[in-house]
Amino acid sequence: MNVEPSMRVEDKLYYNRYLVDVGHPHVKVRAHTTPSPQLLALLKVCPARCYELNDNGQVEITVDGCIECGTCRVIAEPTGDIQWSHPRGGYGVLFKFG
């Protein structure tokens, strides 16, 4: 029995409420030519699919849909591949249910 067809994550994020802090991304990817294994892992493990490969094969992040779980921090901060902070107070995802 099929309840609903699998949805794209991008569409799931529309359920959520966000206050995007335009121009202040709280997660940044270090400039690189070839992505490390840690950065490549983020393409799959980020539950909001914030990480993507660009045309040059580098990993990029768009933080707008970030649900602030911290998973990418746990994986890729120790290697210096990313910088992770909380969004400024009040910004970011705002769960209604949690």
Partner 1 sequence: MIEERFDAIVVGAGMAGNAAALTMARRGMKVLQLERGEYPGSKNVQGAILYADMMEKLIPEFREEAPLERHLVEQRFWIMDDRSHVGMHYRSDDFNEERPNRYTIIRAQFDKWFSSKVREAGATVLCETTVTELARDDRERVVGVRTDRRDGEIHADVVVLAEGVNGLLGTRAGLRARPTPDNVALAVKEMHFLPRETIEARFNLKGDEGVVIEAAGTISRGMTGMGFIYANKECISLGIGCLVADFQRTGQTPYGMLDHFKQHPSVAPLIAGSEVKEYSAHLIPEGGYKAIPQLHGEGWVVVGDAAQLNNAIHREGSNLAMTSGRIAAEAIVQVKSRREPMTATNLSLYKKMLDESFVIKDLKKYKDLPTLMHTHSQNFFLTYPQLISKAMQNFVRVDGTPKAEKEKATLKSFVKARSWTGLFGDACRFARAWR
> Which residues, numbered 10-49, are part of the site for partner 1 (CB under 8 A)?
12-13, 15-16, 19, 41, 44-45, 47-49
Select from 50, 42, 47, 46 the least CA-distant residue to 20: 50
Shorter beta-carbon distance to ligand SF4: residue 3 or 21: 21
Distances (CA, A) of 43 to 25, 36, 57, 88, 97: 18, 12, 12, 25, 27
- Which one of 4-12, 14-22, 32-40, 45-53 is the stretch in contact with ligand SF4 (CB under 6 A)? 45-53
User: Rounded to the nearest 5°, which phi and psi values hold at 90?
Assistant: 90, -25
By CB under 8 A, tell whether 82 contacts partner 1: no
Q: How far is the CB of 33 from partner 1 (least distance, A)?
A: 22
